[in-house]
């Protein structure tokens, strides 16, 4: 028994080979500092559970920044306050590893406040050892969120005043309001009795993680004689008499028995499964088409489609481009973006080309679709001479002023309404484009609809609208 | 393999999965949100993981953790988010962690707007976090390259153990074009990263770390990093050479601007103006040598750089050209995309004044 108590745990290095100075057997901590005892309790637990090979300890920013000198486990050193986020990444990458985030009060409760709160709330399956010494130790004794009212630090030289700095943050109490954590406890290391309780709490927290139960945290009130300008004996006394009053010891949450373990599935997916999941398991259909059959002005068309949001102008563009691609052409589609978005109009630019498309931006369309009046007003002048303007006479109350262009008036919204849905006015226009220009075939357009339209039950209505648009133009 | 008509941002997600990306951590922001949404949709379908972080700051640190644990991991955001991620990027560079980061740039500074801009060049290519580090920066200009360069980013990040950024803009992210997707990479045959901390006996003695208290030791570490960046500059420069052989005017730009510039080159060539384009596909390493070579050519009269910014990449062109030839700049800001004709006018004006 005596042998067990006096031996160094195996998960603690015998010689601190990473420590840069000549002394490889003593830690860098000050006399009377709590880290030594806490390190020992943690190392013993890791050894007794037999998990040293699986364990990754996170060294934070603070005096325990060099925790990796000491623990014979996997070690990761991190940015100030970010340990819970890094722990999340480590754990999610390898769910069977045991991830222990070792953090001080400035690190955890101030700069990393949101990180700890959110990791706890997610019920992240990690264990946090939270060392609360009511001060920033490493940087020389500045105020921490846990500094007591009236306590003098280098940044509260007249004592912490609630009116200026607010009140000490009680992390266990705060986190216990969340549903995520499974185990929350606060201990101290001032005498054998408190050390034994803290020892058990650390084990319970790690066990919770080993059992895949979720987030566990043990807060430990820890003396900082150097930062507090006290002797080690005075410091212990101060924890007992002052800190415990504000930070009462005990278990704040323990659902380790009730909580269901988190299940993990780890399986490599085959190439075929991956392709299927991404929709890459089938070739796009191909339709023959020749641009030579298209009137020269509309060959390799640059198209602008514009209207109110909700008139389906983006979908119309998407369908045209998809059909163009299925006919073997280079295509591009860009939604209205930037200054053109103003005024409630939506528009998109589409190009279909036998050669590589340089700029996808359509400044001067050879085909303009104006689904409403503001669109005609805005873009009529941009159309190239000899170009085509298709305008929706259900909403556009005037004809184009230009005389050097061709135009097709079509009551797209009224036709769509008769078919039973205002939403297919865009497909009526698609029919008009097909009939007038032949830049895409009806066959390719219908195939494109199968890719572009999310709800397949609407496809027959869309096809009917395309046919109606073609018929209307044929009879003009 | 399959050809799809797809948005640039979605091509990033599919490319990442084909490259073997195992985890995604990110925070929503326009115009990059489709990447997070796509990752949330597709990763779970192939047994990989998606998590929406509580912040940009946390998301990049989650990547730090997953990369430290040996996984292929990525995040994506836009300018304001990248400003926040800079802390984590510096730590990833310092600890040599391969993380892929997509920046779909929008208008700035501050909240700016959601229109496409290129004002993040300096904060990404020149650093933005603290310390003497570089990240590899790839600059796609099509949906196809959004897929291809994202896949390449994973390879380069692993090869050099460095954060790698795909720097693109809202336009390239939102644009749809056909993409030919390659076959998925075989993850099972990838070599285990012997430096990572997997949480097993084999890698227990590994350490992920960026702290070196002793100045001499930290200097040595920095020299090691600089040597790595030198190797990257030696081996990984990529660019597109378009009609440069007989060019008297060399134009340059990246992202959406390079597409507009290509249109301008085509237009000017039709009019008999000898103009060509040098488009960097890697912004770090920058194609310095190619620019320097062109500057030495007697035929080349001047350089013309266009960006959707106040002029950031142009400084790298100037450093490469070393005052041997004039370097002119034309920029638009706030989300305004220059037009083919606008750039044509500017180039012709300069041609006249430069004789």
B180, B38: one domain: yes
Using one digit for the tens of pLDDT, what is the confidence trace for A115-160? Answer: 999 999 999 999 999 999 999 999 999 999 999 999 999 999 999 9
CA B261, chain centre distance (Å):
19
Q: Which residues of A touch B25 (CB under 8 A)?
A: 88-89
Q: Is A321 exposed, middle or buried (0-12, 13-18, 19+ CB in 10 A)?
A: buried
Rg of chain B in Å (alpha carbons): 21
Portions of chain A given CATH number 3.40.50.970: 2-254
3-state DSSP: chain A helix, strand, coil percent, rounded to 5? 40, 15, 40
**Which residues make Cβ contacts (< 8 Å) with residue B5, sequence separation at least 6?**
A284, A318, A321, A322, A325, A331, A333, A451, B176, B177, B178, B179
Handedness of CA B170, B53, B83, B207 (dihedral sign): negative
**Which residues make Cβ contacts (< 8 Å) with residue B220, sequence separation at least 6?**
none
What pLDDT, on a 0 to 100 scale, did the predictor assign at position A338?
Answer: 45
Which member of B63, B115, B211 has the closest CB to residue A65?
Answer: B211
Judge contact between A42 and A67, C-beta under 8 A: no
CATH number of residue B288's parent domain: 3.40.50.920
Residue with tokens 């060392």: A131
For residues A449-476, average pLDDT:
95
B244, B210: one domain: no
**Which residues make Cβ contacts (< 8 Å) with residue A273, sequence separation at least 6?**
B46
B222, B344: one domain: no
The tokens describing B348, both together, are 């012709």
Q: Report the CATH architecture of A291-474.
A: 3-Layer(aba) Sandwich (3.40)
What pLDDT, on a 0 to 100 scale, did the predictor assign at position B187?
Answer: 79
What pLDDT, on a 0 to 100 scale, did the predictor assign at position A265?
Answer: 76
B258, B152: one domain: no
Using one digit for the tens of pLDDT, what is the confidence trace for B9-38? Answer: 999 999 999 999 999 999 999 999 999 999
Whether A85 and B214 lie within 8 Å, measured CB to CB: no
Which member of A94, A266, A278 has the closest CB to residue B69?
Answer: A94
Q: Which residues of B touch A321 (CB under 8 A)?
A: 5, 176
Does the structure show a pLDDT above 70 at B43?
yes
B191, B250: one domain: no
Does the structure show a pLDDT above 90 at B127?
no
What pLDDT, on a 0 to 100 scale, did the predictor assign at position B354?
Answer: 82
DSSP 8-state class, residue A239: I
Range of the domain at B221: 3-235
What pLDDT, on a 0 to 100 scale, did the predictor assign at position B1?
Answer: 63
Q: How many CA atoms lie within 13 A of A384 on its CB side?
A: 15
B86, B145: one domain: yes
Handedness of CA A395, A398, A402, A404 (dihedral sign): positive
pLDDT bin (cut points 50, 70, 90) of residue A336 is confident
Closest CA to A445 of A357, A393, A432: A432
Q: What are phi and psi of A56, to 5 degrees?
A: -125, 120
CA-based nearest distance A115→chain B, Å: 7
Q: How many CA atoms lie within 13 A of A346 on its CB side?
A: 13
What pLDDT, on a 0 to 100 scale, did the predictor assign at position A264?
Answer: 83
Using one digit for the tens of pLDDT, what is the confidence trace for A386-413? Answer: 999 999 999 999 999 999 999 999 999 9
Using one digit for the tens of pLDDT, what is the confidence trace for B62-96? Answer: 999 999 999 999 999 999 999 999 999 999 999 99
What pLDDT, on a 0 to 100 scale, did the predictor assign at position A337?
Answer: 52
Q: Which residues of A touch B59 (CB under 8 A)?
A: 85
| Cα maximum dimension of chain A | 105
Q: Which residues of A touch B337 (CB under 8 A)?
A: 338, 361
Closest CA to A135 of A239, A31, A57: A239
DSSP codes of every residue in A272-307: HHHHHHTT-SSPPP-----GGGS-GGGSS-EEEEEE
Residue with tokens 């895409």: A440
Give the integer Cα–Cα distance in Å for A115 and A289. 57
Cβ-based contacts under 8 A for chains A and B: 239
B222, B280: one domain: no
Does the structure show a pLDDT above 50 at A339?
no
Portions of chain A given CATH number 3.40.920.10: 291-474
Handedness of CA B223, B224, B227, B233 (dihedral sign): negative
Give the integer Cα–Cα distance in Å for A439 and A444. 10
B280, B164: one domain: no
CA-based nearest distance B63→chain A, Å: 6
Whether B170 and A97 lie within 8 Å, measured CB to CB: no
Burial A65-95 (b: 16+ CB within 10 A, else e): bbbbbbbbbbbbbbbbbbbbbbbbbbbbbbb
| Domain at A2-254, CATH class | alpha beta
The tokens describing B284, both together, are 């770090």
ipTM: 0.96
What pLDDT, on a 0 to 100 scale, did the predictor assign at position A456?
Answer: 92
What pLDDT, on a 0 to 100 scale, did the predictor assign at position A273?
Answer: 96
Using one digit for the tens of pLDDT, what is the confidence trace for A150-200? Answer: 999 999 999 999 999 999 999 999 999 999 999 999 999 999 999 999 999
DSSP 8-state class, residue A242: I
Residue ending a domain, among B207, B235, B263, is: B235
What pLDDT, on a 0 to 100 scale, did the predictor assign at position B355?
Answer: 67
What pLDDT, on a 0 to 100 scale, did the predictor assign at position A1?
Answer: 46
B146, B101: one domain: yes
Using one digit for the tens of pLDDT, what is the confidence trace for B291-303? Answer: 999 999 999 999 9
B312, B201: one domain: no
Residue ending a domain, among B181, B212, B235, is: B235
Give the integer Cα–Cα distance in Å for A37 and A189. 8
DSSP 8-state class, residue B43: G
- Pick the residue from chain A with its C-alpha nearest to B23: A93
Does the structure show a pLDDT above 60 at A342?
no
Residue to substitute from A337, A341, A347, interface B, most B β-carbons within 10 A: A337
Q: Which residues of A touch B63 (CB under 8 A)?
A: 89
Q: Which residues of B touch A278 (CB under 8 A)?
A: 14, 17-18, 42, 181
Closest CA to A245 of A171, A170, A178: A170
Handedness of CA B323, B324, B326, B329 (dihedral sign): negative
CA distances from B50 to A352, B10, B30, B162 (A): 36, 15, 19, 22
DSSP 8-state class, residue A107: I
B245, B217: one domain: no
Number of H helices, E strands in chain A: 18, 13
Number of domains present in the structure of chain B:
2
Neighbours of B190 (CB within 10 A): 12
């Amino acid at each position: 028994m005596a042998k067990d108590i006096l031996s160094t745990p195996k998960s603690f290095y015998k010689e601190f080979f990473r420590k840069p100075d000549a002394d490889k057997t003593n830690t860098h901590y000050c006399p009377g500092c709590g880290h030594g005892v806490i390190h020992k309790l943690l190392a013993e637990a890791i050894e007794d559970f037999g998990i040293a090979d699986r364990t990754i300890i996170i060294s934070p920013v603070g005096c325990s920044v060099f925790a990796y000198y000491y623990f014979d486990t996997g070690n990761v050193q991190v940015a100030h306050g970010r340990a819970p986020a890094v722990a999340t990444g480590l754990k999610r990458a390898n769910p069977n590893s045991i991830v222990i985030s070792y953090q001080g009060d400035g690190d955890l409760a101030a700069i990393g406040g949101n990180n700890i709160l959110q990791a706890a709330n997610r019920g992240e399956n990690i264990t946090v050892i939270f060392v609360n010494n009511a001060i920033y130790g490493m940087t020389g004794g500045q105020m921490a969120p846990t500094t007591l009212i009236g306590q003098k630090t280098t940044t509260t030289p007249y004592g912490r005043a609630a009116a200026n700095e607010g009140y000490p943050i009680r992390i266990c109490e705060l986190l216990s309001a969340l549903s995520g954590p499974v185990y929350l406890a606060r201990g101290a290391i001032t005498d054998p009795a408190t050390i034994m309780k803290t020892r058990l709490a650390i084990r319970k927290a790690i066990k919770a993680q080993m059992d895949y139960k979720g987030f566990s945290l043990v807060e430990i009130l820890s003396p900082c004689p150097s930062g507090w300008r006290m002797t080690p004996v005075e410091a212990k006394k101060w924890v007992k008499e002052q800190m415990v009053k504000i930070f009462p010891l005990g278990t704040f949450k323990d659902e380790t028995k009730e909580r269901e373990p988190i299940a993990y599935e780890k399986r490599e997916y085959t190439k075929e499964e991956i392709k299927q999941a991404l929709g890459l398991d089938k070739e796009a259909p191909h339709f023959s088409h020749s641009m030579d059959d298209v009137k020269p002005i509309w060959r390799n068309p640059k198209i602008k489609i514009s209207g109110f949001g909700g008139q389906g102008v983006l979908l119309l563009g998407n369908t045209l481009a998809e059909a163009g691609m299925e006919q073997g052409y280079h295509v591009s589609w860009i939604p209205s973006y930037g200054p053109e978005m103003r005024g409630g109009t939506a528009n998109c630019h589409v190009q279909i080309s036998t050669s590589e498309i340089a700029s996808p931006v359509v400044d001067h369309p050879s085909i303009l679709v104006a689904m409403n009046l503001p669109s005609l007003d805005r873009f009529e002048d941009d159309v190239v001479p000899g170009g085509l303007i298709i305008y929706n006479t259900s909403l556009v109350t005037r004809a184009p002023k230009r005389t050097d262009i061709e135009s097709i008036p079509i009551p797209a919204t009224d036709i769509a309404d008769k078919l039973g849905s205002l939403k297919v006015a865009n497909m009526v226009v698609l029919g008009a484009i097909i009939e007038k220009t032949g830049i895409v075939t009806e066959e390719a357009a219908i195939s494109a609809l199968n890719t572009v339209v999310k709800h397949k039950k609407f496809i027959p209505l869309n096809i009917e609208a395309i046919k109606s648009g073609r018929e209307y133009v044929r009879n003009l | 393999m399959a050809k799809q008509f797809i948005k640039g941002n979605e091509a990033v997600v599919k490319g990442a999965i084909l490259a073997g990306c195992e985890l995604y951590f990110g925070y929503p922001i326009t115009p990059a949100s489709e990447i997070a949404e796509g990752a949330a949709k597709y990763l779970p379908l192939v047994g990989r993981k998606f998590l929406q972080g509580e912040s940009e700051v946390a998301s990049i640190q989650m990547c730090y953790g997953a990369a430290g644990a040996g996984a292929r991991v990525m995040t994506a955001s836009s300018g304001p988010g990248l400003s926040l991620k800079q802390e984590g990027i510096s730590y990833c560079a310092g600890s040599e962690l391969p993380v892929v980061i997509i920046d779909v740039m929008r208008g700035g500074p501050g909240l700016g707007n959601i229109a496409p801009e290129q004002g993040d060049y300096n904060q990404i290519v020149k650093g933005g976090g603290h310390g003497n580090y570089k990240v590899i920066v790839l600059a796609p200009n099509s949906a196809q390259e959004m897929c291809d360069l994202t896949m390449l980013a994973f390879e380069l990040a692993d090869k050099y153990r460095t954060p790698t950024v795909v720097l693109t803009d809202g336009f390239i992210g939102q644009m749809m074009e056909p993409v030919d997707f390659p076959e998925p990479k075989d993850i099972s045959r990838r070599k285990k990263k012997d430096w990572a901390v997997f949480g097993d006996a084999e890698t227990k003695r590994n350490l992920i770390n960026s702290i070196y208290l002793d100045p001499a030791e930290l200097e040595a570490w920095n020299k090691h990093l600089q040597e790595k960046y030198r190797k990257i500059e030696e081996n990984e420069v990529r660019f597109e050479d378009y009609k440069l052989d007989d060019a008297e005017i060399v134009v340059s730009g990246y992202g959406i601007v390079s597409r507009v510039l290509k249109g301008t080159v085509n237009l000017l060539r039709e009019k008999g103006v000898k103009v060509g384009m040098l488009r960097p596909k890697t912004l770090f390493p920058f194609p310095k040598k190619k620019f320097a070579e062109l500057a030495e050519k007697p035929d080349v009269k001047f350089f013309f750089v266009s960006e959707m910014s106040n002029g950031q990449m142009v400084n790298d062109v100037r450093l490469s050209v070393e005052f041997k030839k004039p370097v002119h700049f034309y920029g638009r800001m706030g989300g305004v995309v220059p037009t083919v004709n606008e750039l044509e006018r500017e180039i012709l004006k300069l041609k006249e004044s430069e004789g």
